[in-house]
């Protein structure tokens, strides 16, 4: 009996060892494959079933559908994993998808999906997103395809970070630049990146510009970043409130600043020209004398009548103003 138990335990141990050797090692960031699977096609949220490779989950954010551990070799199929028109939360994890004719993983009109820690390649396009948003590619090896990751029409707001892009004809294609190729921890490893890392922090000193990745990795990533969550949103400008100035307390004296007096231009008085020295000159040599005629009004204070007096020397000559008509008549009457 004891011998049978020992043989049974040894057989179980051999089976477990065979699974580990054939399927991979179980552990953080490593692959564990349940086995081979036919190409998967899921249409609508009701398509997440056991027959389509789902091993757990209910489709919520806290409990997403999980497609995990499958090896899909699809040389006769257009797609390895094709998910179409879904909004349920799901994760494709620790899978190997190879040799699909068109795309290894194809997401069409999909939201809330994640593809992580998977090996995808040897296809025309490794991962293709069309009309899809809010999805995340993380910690995948995307290799040996004509195109690595392609963002088709209306694919926007997807996050691609921590992936390894190896020897693709074109590692990434995002013609409108409306997807994010990095997170708050790192970007991606690009086999065609030509930049340097002079400060030795593991991140290239210049961005990867085929798609904008400001934090390209110098070496394939390891699990130093623990699946950071990235929220892409616009921050509204701060609202500035200007409070009215408060009145000064009673014990603070008020200071009145008088406006500065307006400066008026200073008029310079004309300088009188000195008469020319004509002593010793004949009449012909002497300069002509210019007589200045001045016309000045003289106002009678009592009558208000005005008389013009003309002088040649500039000095007012005394002249009595003519009496007004009213005065003349009144004087005649009194005599």
pLDDT digits (tens, 9 = 90+) for 230-239: 444 433 434 3
Query: Taking the mean position of all CA atoms in its chain, how far away is CA 115?
Result: 28
88-108 exposure pattern, b = at least 16 Cβ within 10 A, e = fewer: bbbbbbbbbbbbbeebbbbbb
Task: Round to whole Å and give the CA distance between 192 and 190.
Answer: 5
Confidence of residue 16 (pLDDT cuts 50, 70, 90): very low
Locus of tokens 């088709």: 152
pLDDT digits (tens, 9 = 90+) for 243-283: 444 444 455 454 444 555 555 555 555 555 555 555 666 66
Which residues constitute the domain of residue 118?
27-190
- 127 exposed, middle or buried (CB, 10 Å; 0-12, 13-18, 19+)? buried
Strands 65-68 and 54-56, bridge-based pairing? antiparallel
Residue 117 included in any domain: yes
Least trusted range by pLDDT, from 108-112, 240-244, 276-280: 240-244
pLDDT at 83: 98
For range 188-202, the mean pLDDT: 96
φ, ψ of residue 65 to 5 degrees: the values are -65, 140
pLDDT above 70 (res 79): yes
- pLDDT given for residue 151 in this prediction: 98
Any domain includes 63? yes
What does the pLDDT look like over 268-323, one tens digit per residue?
A: 555 555 555 556 666 666 566 555 555 555 556 555 555 555 555 444 444 444 45
Is 154 within 8 Å of 128 (Cβ atoms)?
Answer: no
Per-residue model confidence (pLDDT) at position 222: 72
pLDDT value, residue 241: 40
pLDDT at 73 > cutoff 80: yes
CB-based contacts of 129-132 (< 8 A; 24+ apart in sequence): 129/155, 129/158, 130/106, 130/154, 130/155, 131/155, 132/107, 132/108, 132/158
pLDDT mean over 202-215: 97
277 or 20: which leads in pLDDT: 277
Residue 327 lies in a domain: no
For 115-166, what is each residue's pLDDT tens digit? 999 999 999 999 999 999 999 999 999 999 999 999 999 999 999 999 999 9
Q: Name the strand (E) or helix (H) holding 5.
A: helix 2-23
Residue 297, pLDDT score: 57
Whether 164 is covered by a domain: the verdict is: yes
Q: What predicted TM-score, i.e. pTM, was given to this entire model?
A: 0.60
Distant-in-sequence, close-in-space partners of 88: CB < 8 Å, separation ≥ 6: 45, 48, 59, 60, 64, 65, 112
Q: Whole-angstrom Cα distance, residue 200 to residue 203?
A: 8
Assess whether pLDDT exceeds 60 at residue 32: no
> Is 285 part of a structural domain of the chain?
no
Task: Quote the number of domains for the chain.
Answer: 1
The answer to the question of residue 202 being in a domain is: no
Retrieve residue 316's tokens.
């007012």
Token pair 């490779």 is at which residue? 53
Here the CATH number for the domain that contains residue 46 is 2.160.20.10
Q: Out of 8-17, 87-96, 259-268, which region has the weakest mean confidence (pLDDT)?
A: 8-17
Find all residues with CB under 8 Å of 68, minimum gap 6, and list them.
32, 34, 55, 56, 91, 92, 93, 94, 95
């Amino acid at each position: 009996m004891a011998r049978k138990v020992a043989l049974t335990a040894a057989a179980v141990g051999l089976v477990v060892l065979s699974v580990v050797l054939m399927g991979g090692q179980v552990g953080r960031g490593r692959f564990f494959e349940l086995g081979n699977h036919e190409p998967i096609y899921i249409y609508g949220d009701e398509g997440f079933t056991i027959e389509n490779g789902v091993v757990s989950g209910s489709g919520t954010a806290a409990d997403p559908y999980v497609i995990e551990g499958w090896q899909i070799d699809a040389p006769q199929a257009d797609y390895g994993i094709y998910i179409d028109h879904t909004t349920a939360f799901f994760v494709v994890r620790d899978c190997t998808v190879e040799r699909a004719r068109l795309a290894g993983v194809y997401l069409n009109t999909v939201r809330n999906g994640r593809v992580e820690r998977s090996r995808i390649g040897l296809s025309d396009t490794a991962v293709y997103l069309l009309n899809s948003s809010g999805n995340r590619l993380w910690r995948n090896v995307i290799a040996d395809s004509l195109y690595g990751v392609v963002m088709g029409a209306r694919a926007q707001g997807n996050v691609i970070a921590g992936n390894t892009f190896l020897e693709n004809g074109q590692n990434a294609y995002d013609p409108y630049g409306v997807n994010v190729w990095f997170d708050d921890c790192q970007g991606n490893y690009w086999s065609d990146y030509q930049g340097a890392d002079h400060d030795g922090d593991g991140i290239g000193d210049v961005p990867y510009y085929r798609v904008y990745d400001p934090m390209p990795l110098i070496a394939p990533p390891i699990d130093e970043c623990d699946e950071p969550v990235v929220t892409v949103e616009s921050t509204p400008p701060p609202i500035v409130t200007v409070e009215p100035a408060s009145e000064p307390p009673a014990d603070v004296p008020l200071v009145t600043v008088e406006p500065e007096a307006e400066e008026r231009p200073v008029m310079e008085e004309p300088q009188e020209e000195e008469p020319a020295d004509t002593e010793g000159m004949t009449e012909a040599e002497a300069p002509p004398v210019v007589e200045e005629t001045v016309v000045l009004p003289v106002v009678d204070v009592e009558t208000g009548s005005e008389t013009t007096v003309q002088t040649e020397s500039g000095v007012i000559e005394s002249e009595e103003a003519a009496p007004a008509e009213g005065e003349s008549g009144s004087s005649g009457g009194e005599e």
